[in-house]
Amino acid sequence: MTILALGDQLTRTVGPLADHDGRVLMIEARDFAHRHPYHPHKLALVFAAMRRFRDRLQAAGHPVDYRRTETFADALEAHFEAHPDDDLTVVRPASHGGADRMRRLVSDAGGSLTVVEDERFLCSPAAFDEWAGDRDTLTHETFYRHMRRETGYLMDGDDPVGGEWNYDDQNRETPPEGYEPPEAPTFEYDDETHEVIEWVESEFSGGYDEPPYGGDWADPEPFRWPVTREQALRTLDHFAESRLPEFGPYQDAMREDEWAMNHSLLSAPLNLGLLTPDEVVERVLDAYESRDVPLNSVEGFVRQVIGWREFLRHVYRREMPELATANQLGQTEGLPGFYWTGETDMACLSDVIDGVRRRGYSHHIERLMLLSNFALIYGVEPAALNRWFHAGYVDAFHWVTTPNVIEMGSFGAGVFATKPYASSANYVDKMSDYCSDCSYYKTKTTGEGACPFNTFYWDFLDRNEDELRSNHRMGLVYSHLDNKDDEEIEAIRDRATELRERAENDDL
Ligand code: SF4
């Protein structure tokens, strides 16, 4: 029996590789990587992490068939030619329909495949479905409390440690002038990882329908992500030791030139399997108990891992395939070209998109309140925005981005989001230092120089009035819209039309 280890299944501590000492098959298929204009750091991360995982397995005595082919089918054909009676076992692929596609490929190659459930997550499909039961609506907060009780993390008997389930009221601070978060960790890479980085740059640039990051013009920074378990553990230690204490209060803050703030940078190694959620949470709880790290920071992080991450995985599992194309507001605009270049006069989007271009990353509040928010109020089709996130971020996989982008960011389906996350420059100005140096006026909604976030915010409410006015959570904002007279509404519509034309001409 051979274990097929996919590129985001690089885990030996749990799952089939934990008690397997036989052959392992790993497949590096080029056509898969050519399908989307992926950020070169994302491809380098996956390929380098796979090859280093192969080295680790071999060092532990596993025979590893590491096949570099054009397609998965080519690799499977070669595998079954070499091992005609072999049975393959694979952990259920996270992408919708992935297990069925894999079964077909293996069957076409003349073999058989056993699919086992992914044990790395803290909540199994059966446990989630039992929790969901006949509930009309699935809310993250209810699930999160359930997970706290199930895992016992941050629990004091039946009660939450500290008396509250969440401390977000302490987590919306802005850092003082001149605040410098701890430097993000960097790593020394082996020769093969350097070769992968160079190979990706030469192999995967250009030739896509949408502008790629990986063209000559992209010029990303040097690659900086952990590709081995040791490097991933160092990232975890670094977070628990130095970034965690101020993670909570500043988790929603955005600062020009501070791309990481105090965020953990653990999503990529977690999603690849280099770390497991329980060890990440337990390391953070250890810091809480041994070093008296503030509870609001610890709880905010634990919620992301045992709550949000698990919740989204199951929402994706249950709501696909409809979720991928959900578009309940009927948004039809294409993604503005500056999402691929960062070339816009909007200081906030210019800086954050430039950071994505350079590193394949931005932190969660920039993703939600800048990138998704702007696309939402501009009217971008949710699937187009999802494709962009999927291609551009080192930690993006379909099961992660689809519920985050289509539902949370774009209010595409109404599965768990109860209102759209739409906001004007007010929010950006409150949580960032961008507006003071921007060529747009943060207080203007119409007329020359008016901030596009303001124009599109009101235009969004106006455009979607039929769908949104009856939403009880939107009552207050619609009462503000009602305060605008016809002349003002007309000026907003005109300005929105003008700004869309400018965006289409790369002049926003
Ligand atoms: S004024 Fe508007 S476009 Fe400029 S930084 Fe602020 S929110 Fe962004």
CATH code for the domain of 132: 1.25.40.80
**Structural domain for 138, as ranges:** 125-187+224-319
Looking at the DSSP assignment, which residues form a beta bridge with residue 87?
Answer: 112
Averaged pLDDT, 161-171: 94
> Does residue 244 belong to any structural domain of this protein?
yes
Place of tokens 């230690």: 237
Where among 68, 98, 116 does a domain terminate?
116
Q: Return the exposure string of 53-84: e unless at least 16 CB atoms fall within 10 Å of the residue's CB, then b.
A: bbebbeeeebebbbbebeebbbbbbbbbeeee
293 lies in the same domain as 353: no
Most ligand 1 atoms within 8 A of CB, residue of 345, 428, 444, 495 to mutate = 428
CA distance 213 to 273: 25
Residue nearest to atom 5 of ligand 1 (CA): 435
354 lies in the same domain as 452: yes
Place of tokens 């479905």: 129
> Does residue 246 belong to any structural domain of this protein?
yes
Question: Minimal CA–CA distance to 424: which of 386, 387, 457, 377?
Answer: 457
358 lies in the same domain as 437: yes
**Cβ pair 378, 500 in contact under 8 A:** yes
- Residue 346 CA: nearest ligand 1 atom is 3
Q: Is 434 in the pocket of ligand 1 (CB under 6 A)?
A: yes
Q: Tokens representing 175?
A: 């850092």
308 lies in the same domain as 373: no
> Does residue 183 belong to any structural domain of this protein?
yes
| 244, 43, 335, 430: CA torsion to nearest 10 | 10
Residue nearest to atom 8 of ligand 1 (CA): 348
Note the pLDDT of residue 203: 84
State how beta strands 155-156 and 159-160 pair.
Answer: antiparallel
Q: How confident is the model at residue 296 (pLDDT cuts 50, 70, 90)?
A: very high
**Cβ pair 289, 391 in contact under 8 A:** no
- Residue 428 CA: nearest ligand 1 atom is 7
Q: Is 440 in the pocket of ligand 1 (CB under 6 A)?
A: yes
Where among 68, 94, 116 does a domain terminate?
116
The structural domain count of the chain equals 3
Where among 116, 144, 159 does a domain terminate?
116
349: CATH: 1.10.579.10
> Does residue 331 belong to any structural domain of this protein?
no
Query: How many angstroms does the Cα of residue 319 sit away from the middle of ligand 1?
Result: 35
Question: 120 pLDDT exceeds 70?
Answer: yes
Q: Is 508 in the pocket of ligand 1 (CB under 6 A)?
A: no
Q: Is 431 in the pocket of ligand 1 (CB under 6 A)?
A: no
Span 186-243, pLDDT tens digits: 999 999 999 999 999 888 876 566 666 544 446 788 999 999 999 999 999 999 999 9
Averaged pLDDT, 118-125: 96
**Cβ pair 410, 385 in contact under 8 A:** yes
> Does residue 83 belong to any structural domain of this protein?
yes
Note the pLDDT of residue 21: 86
CA distance 242 to 253: 18
> Does residue 21 belong to any structural domain of this protein?
yes
136 lies in the same domain as 112: no
Q: Tokens representing 72?
A: 């998965």
Q: Tokens representing 91?
A: 């952990």
46 lies in the same domain as 7: yes
DSSP 44: H
> Does residue 274 belong to any structural domain of this protein?
yes
Question: 350 pLDDT exceeds 80?
Answer: yes
275 lies in the same domain as 146: yes
76: CATH: 3.40.50.620
Burial of 374 (0-12, 13-18, 19+ CB in 10 A): buried
Note the pLDDT of residue 88: 96
130 lies in the same domain as 42: no
Query: How many angstroms does the Cα of residue 178 sit away from the middle of ligand 1?
Result: 21
343 lies in the same domain as 273: no
300 lies in the same domain as 443: no
Note the pLDDT of residue 167: 95
> Does residue 138 belong to any structural domain of this protein?
yes
Residue nearest to atom 2 of ligand 1 (CA): 451
Question: Minimal CA–CA distance to 303: which of 284, 321, 290, 289?
Answer: 284
Question: Minimal CA–CA distance to 39: which of 390, 342, 354, 399?
Answer: 390
| 37, 43, 45, 50: CA torsion to nearest 10 | 150
Averaged pLDDT, 309-329: 97
Radius of gyration of the chain from its Cα atoms, rounded to whole angstroms: 23
Question: 273 pLDDT exceeds 60?
Answer: yes
Q: Tokens representing 304?
A: 């992301």
Looking at the DSSP assignment, which residues form a beta bridge with residue 89?
Answer: 3, 114
Span 134-156, pLDDT tens digits: 898 899 999 999 999 999 999 99
Note the pLDDT of residue 215: 46
Span 460-472, pLDDT tens digits: 999 999 999 999 9
445 lies in the same domain as 296: no
Question: 181 pLDDT exceeds 60?
Answer: yes
Which strands make up the sheet holding 2-4, listed edge to edge? 64-69, 24-29, 2-4, 87-91, 112-116
Tell me: cis bond preceding 403? Omega within 30 of 0 counts.
Answer: no
Q: Helix (H, G, I), strand (E, B), or coil: what is residue 434?
A: coil
Question: Minimal CA–CA distance to 146: which of 123, 178, 114?
Answer: 123
Residue nearest to atom 6 of ligand 1 (CA): 435
Place of tokens 């098959």: 25
109 lies in the same domain as 130: no
Residue nearest to atom 7 of ligand 1 (CA): 425
Place of tokens 């989007």: 349
Half-sphere exposure in the Cβ direction for 340 (13 Å, CA)? 22
Q: Outline where DSSP puts E strands in 2-74.
A: 2-4, 24-29, 64-69
